[in-house]
Each structure stands twice: as structure tokens, then as C-alpha cells.
Structure 1
Amino acid sequence: MAALGLLASTMTAVEAARASPGDEHARERDQLVAIERLRQVVDSDPVRFAGLSTNGAGHVTVHVLGAAATARPDLREIRQTAGAAGITLTVVDQRHSLDELTRIQRAVVSDQRLAAVGSARVIGARVDPETNSVVVRVTGKAAALTLKMQQIYGDTVRIQPTPELFETLGRFNDTSPFYGGDRIGNPTKICSYGFSLTNLYGIRYGITAGHCWPEGTPVSVTRADGGTGDRGEGYDVFGTVQFRRNGGGALDNELIGGRDYGGLIWVSDILWSDGNIALPVHEARASCSGCYVYVNGSVSGKRLAKVNGFEDCMTVGGAYSCGLWSATSTDGQPICRHGDSGGPVFAYDGRGGVVAVGILTGGSEDGTFCVYTDMPRILSSWQSTITTG
């Protein structure tokens, strides 16, 4: 294997021959198709079902109304569909049906009794099969609104405090609170912003690769091109590098502070036209050998990769770094290039959001083999938690 290099700055892409996706990737696509069929069956009988939830493509939980007076649905079609796709199926009894929760979901967002309770405001609601409830997103100080809502709807609702939402313009036109995947830099080099963490004192920082800049370096959000050395032109202050770990067996990461950093990341398939396509980060966890993840640097964009396994410590660009996993392109095309350093590595969680897996550290010159630093280890090292959206 060619020597690994760091991904800071800009590099010319090296074309690689396309390769057919592996059997496991094809199986995952088949499982996603099967899950959609299962969802259609569940949605077609909302009186007896309580919803469907997933944990990756290979694990599905079907939630069924457990009331004794209600006849249980016929699960033969569901079991056959899941079995044919190699999906592990779990059936769980719940108190509230999908029909009941859907009616409450619609009522909550239009209930005039909840329209003006102090500064709080309902901005959305969703059925959550896992908790057998309706999760209501609320902005402002929600204590009074929460009490009133529970008086009306009881234990069928859960409040999820949410910051005020607004339209954004993408990873090259982002403003505070910044989303993961932004291109960040200064006249010396460019890197990518991965995720935000929240420390024990409630302070948020943006995480990127530790080899990007020394402590005290000011960093800006940059445009797609232009500026010194075509490294992007800064148009908004991103912050200043405040804490750094790099080399000597450390985890390759640094924390940038001074602005606000949101709990969402850009997830568009098209790098140059992100629009407002972003998803919330729900949690952080390690991946596994043979699993699929997405690497999402600001140069290469969102690319599918297969995890090879946990590498622990490797020399990357002359620095000895630890906490590393390796991953390989699924189609032979580059998944990480210079400028992608620090970019998010994530997986979809099947519940409308993403799992933070790591941040990009380095890769081979052709960009088809990459290493990334494990996100749970980064968080543990700073005694912090992932910032969620």
C-alpha cells in the first residue's frame, strides 16, 4: 500500500477505475427495499400496528398494539419479507397504535391552545415508534408549554427542545451555528469541519483534524473556490483553534471555539448544491468491520465507504496517531482528498438522523483508502458529548 498522507490543503484528484459494489453492499440495498415493503404493510394497518423502527439495514423492530381486546395482525408476510432479505426481526407490544399517535401528531401542531404559551412555540412533531409516543419539537422556554401539553395529551407526548430553525444555503454559504461538512480555512490551507462537541460546562466547539492548524490560529468558513492558492475565500469567521492534539500517539483532533456550532451535518449527494439538506446528529458510536459508512469532506463530498477494521495507531503524514479506523471506497472512486481532513464520517440511524462515527485524518494518494479517528474516543478524551440536533 502506498504511504498515507494527511488530507489538509488541496490535491488534484487521481481518476480510478470504477468497481462493482461488493455483495454486502448489494445485500444492504436489498434490505432497504425490503424495509420499505415492511413499512408499507405496517402503514396499511395503523389500527393494529404501532409503527416500524430500524437499527441499520439488518435489524428491524415491528411495534404492535398489545391491547388484549385487539386482534394481533398477521405477521407472516412481514416475517417472510424480513427473512428473505436476511433481516433480524423483533416484534414489540406497545400501548398506543400508529393510528392514535398519528392523530395526536396532527392535533398537536394545529392545537390553538398551544399557540401562545410564554415564549415557547411548537415547530413540529413526529411519531416515535421506539418510545411509542409523539415527539414534539418546541422552541423557547418550554416549561409552561410542556405542562399544558401533558395536561391535554398525557403520556403520549414527549417534548424535545429545539433551537429556532431557519433556511440555510449549504456548506459553502453557512453561518453560525455551523453544520458539519463546511469547508474551513485560512491563507495557509483548507480543512473540513466534522462535528460539534459539548463539554461539561455546556460550551460547544467545532471539531476538525489536529494536523490542520496550531493553537491560536484564526479560521474562516470559505467559498468553494478562489482566494490564496485557490484554497477558498473566507467570508465568515468560524473561530480560533483553542485546543489541539496531534502526533505522539494522540488522537488527531483539535477544537475550534468562539462561535456557535450546531448539531447537524450536510448530507447532500451533490457537493456544490447542498441547499438546506441537513440532518441532525443523534449520537456518536464506533463502527464495525464490514459495516458501511459515509465520509463527507468538503472536497470529495459524501461518499460511501466500507470499514476495514480498527487500526488503532498508524503513522499518517509523518505523525503517529491513534484511535484510527480504516475504510475503502466501494466503487473505486476517491472518497477522501487533501482538504477533507476533519470532515465527518457518519452512518444513517434509521430514525431521521445520523450517527457520528469519526473525523477524517488521512488517506492514500488516489483517495480510495482512508483512515479516520474514532469519534467516541475523541469525546471521551475531552470528557464531552456529541452535540445533537
Structure 2
Amino acid sequence: MSVVAVAAAVTTVLGTTPAQADPGGNTKPPEKRTVAKAEGLAPDRVTAPAAPAATSAELTTIQTRIARYVATNGTKYTFASYYDATAGRIVLSTDAPADVVSTLTTAAKASSVQVRHSELNDVFSRRDDVPSFYGGGGITFGGGVCSSGYAVQNSAGTRFMVTAGHCFADGTTVTTESGATTYGTVSHRRLPTVTGHAQDLELIGGSSYAGRIFTGGVTSSTSAPVVAAGTAYVGFTNYCHSGRTTGENCGHTATSITAQVCTQTGCKSPVIAFTGGVMIQGGDSGSPFYVYDSAGGAWIRGHILATDGTTGYAEPYTVTAPELGVSIVTG
């Protein structure tokens, strides 16, 4: 069985299956024409009382103050505000401290504002990430898809995301898998067939990257903090990977940390060889290879490169860090 880099098979992962003909040779029934109904008959239409003019003015003032506060002070705190027609009052949901809330709501009567103390979060997932980006997310350019690995920083404190060198060329600007957000620009590529190095790694920079990795399934938004990075240990039986194709899977056993793997992009060594568990697949290239501690923190050991379907291979962190002059970013 041949060994292939797991960024391959992009069309298989992302492509669509051609439609199949009806085995009986039948065609679809004629399309029924309908007459558009008035929106006033919509089944979800309800009549709710409008906010009193004074309350509407108070809400506008509060929202304007919030917008100015965020523009001046950044996004340290989160805010959401609206008029709740069923309760007849303004609702402000925020994790800001009481003194900040007070300065934003002085325009309104205390009895007309309900403050809910909670943090708001963007809705995102492994395949549609937002800054600060996590490891294990889907990244793409020109039809190719890989996974992000783990965040690192150089001596100046500038952060980058590690991924596999066979994923994208230097200078490429990649996006999240959905294409909705620019992820960063590729630099410091190392690949046997391109640079002559026996390594398979590169950096993505220019955005914000966090010391966390996605956990769970392929559309998950859950994550774990990175707490350390170092060498893998032969014989350990519960290493994990977390990629855009197969999600998070553990139960891998490291069988070697001095292996060599030769694919279409040349021979790489030393690399980690591992078996067991749900094996990596196309599109998982670049994703983190790690182990959990008892507190749920992830210890990075490398990033995913290739598989023959039975054994997987990962570029060691202990190769990446000195080669690129970077250190791990923790979360």
C-alpha cells in the first residue's frame, strides 16, 4: 500500500457526487405553479407592541455609547442590546464590569433596563474559524485543503500558525475552509522537492493565532488549551490528532520517533510514526498531533504529514521549533 500525503484527495473530500439517473428512466413530475401569497398571511407573522418612543430613544443612546466604547477600548468586553417587546424593557447582555455598564446606561431609567451578565461569542466552527485562529481548523487555497496545526511565536513575539509544507507555496494567502475569512500568508516553507530540506513544514502569518486547538467533530467549535510542546515517546498509546477531515481522534501509539517517510514531495526524516485509533485522512495534513494531561491541556508533539492507511506520520515539534526559530504559544 503506497504512502500518500494527507493533503491529497481534495476533490474527494470537497467535491460533489454526480447526480444519478432514475433507474426506471422516469422524469420528475411537472413543476406546480403557485401564486405568491401576501406577506401579511405569513405563518410566523405576529403582532408585537412597539417600543414607546422614549424607550426607543434610550436604546439608541445606549447602543451608540456601546459602539463608541468598543471603538475606543477594543473588544475586551462583549455587548448585546435590544428592546424585548414581550417584557416591555431594554435588555443588555454583557460581561463588562458594573462601572462600565453604568456609564453606558445612564440615559435610561434603571427600571427599564435588564442587565444580563454573560459573555457573548461568535458562532464559528472548525471549518469556518475566526480570529484568533485555533489549530485543527480547515484552511484552503485554489481548491487544496489542509488543516492548521498549532500557534508559535518568534523571538520578537510575532505569532504564526504551523502547517505542513506540502500544503501551500510560499507567498500564498490562504483562507478558512469556508472562504469567509483570510487566514494569513505562507512563509518559511520547508519541503524536500522545493527547498531540499528533509522536512515538511511552513508558517502562516499576518493574522491573530491562539494557543488552542479544536476538539470534537468536524464541525465542532469546542477547543482545548495548548500547555506545552516537546518530544513524543515511543510506546505511548494515547496520542491524538485533530483535523478538518476526521475531527479529533485519540488512541494512537507512537512506534518510532526516528522514522522516514517518502511521498510525492520527497523524503522526510526524522518523523514520528504512529498506529492505532481512527487513522488520518486527506485534508488532515498540518493538523496537530498531541497528548492530553490530566487537566485537559494539550501537549503538542508535532503536526500530521502522511499515511498509508495503517500507519500515520507526523513532523516532530522538536524539528519544527529549532528549524524556524520559534516557540510554542500556550492558551
Name the TM-score class by shorter chain. Answer: 0.5 to 0.7
Matched, 1:244 2:189: yes
Going from structure 1 to structure 2, the CA distance change for 1:167 and 1:353 (only over 3 Å counts) comes to farther
Deviation at residue 352 of structure 1 after TM alignment: 3.2
Contact 2:239/2:289, CA 8 A, preserved across alignment: yes
Deviation at residue 239 of structure 1 after TM alignment: 0.8
Deviation at residue 166 of structure 1 after TM alignment: 4.3
Alignment partners' CA distance in 1, 2:152 and 2:128: 22
* Residue-by-residue CA offset, 1:229-274 (whole Å, 9 max, x unaligned): xxxxx11100111210011343210001111111000111x223x1
Structure 2 residue identity aligned to 1:222: E
Q: Which residue of 2 aligns with 1:352?
A: 296
Going from structure 1 to structure 2, the CA distance change for 1:299 and 1:244 (only over 3 Å counts) comes to same
Q: Which residue of 2 aligns with 1:388?
A: 330
* Residue-by-residue CA offset, 1:190-214 (whole Å, 9 max, x unaligned): 0100001100010001110001111
Q: Which residue of 1 aligns with 2:153?
A: 198
Deviation at residue 318 of structure 1 after TM alignment: 4.2
Of 299, 304, 312, which residue of structure 1 is paired with 2:245?
299
Structure 1 residue identity aligned to 2:225: P
Q: Percent identity between the aligned chains?
A: 29
Superposition CA RMSD, Å: 2.8
Q: Which residue of 2 aligns with 1:259?
A: 207
Alignment partners' CA distance in 1, 2:209 and 2:265: 30
Unaligned residue ranges in structure 1 (runs of 5+): 14-117, 123-163, 224-233
Structure 1 residue identity aligned to 2:135: G
1:19-34 aligned at under 5 Å gives the runs none
Contact 2:149/2:288, CA 8 A, preserved across alignment: yes
Classify the secondary structure of the residue corresponding to 1:191. Answer: strand
Of 282, 292, 310, which residue of structure 2 is paired with 1:368?
310
Deviation at residue 338 of structure 1 after TM alignment: 1.2
Alignment partners' CA distance in 1, 2:265 and 2:124: 37
Deviation at residue 10 of structure 1 after TM alignment: 3.1
* Residue-by-residue CA offset, 1:206-230 (whole Å, 9 max, x unaligned): 110001111011100013xxxxxxx
Structure 1 residue identity aligned to 2:198: A
Question: TM-score, normalized by length of structure 1?
Answer: 0.54
Deviation at residue 7 of structure 1 after TM alignment: 1.1
Q: Which residue of 1 aligns with 2:103?
A: none
Unaligned residue ranges in structure 2 (runs of 5+): 14-72, 78-118
Which stretches of structure 1, 4 residues or more, deviate above 6 A after TM superposition?
none
Alignment partners' CA distance in 1, 2:239 and 2:323: 23
Alignment partners' CA distance in 1, 2:140 and 2:122: 24
Larger Rg: 2
* Residue-by-residue CA offset, 1:78-112 (whole Å, 9 max, x unaligned): xxxxxxxxxxxxxxxxxxxxxxxxxxxxxxxxxxx
Classify the secondary structure of the residue corresponding to 1:190. Answer: strand
Q: Which residue of 2 aligns with 1:209?
A: 164
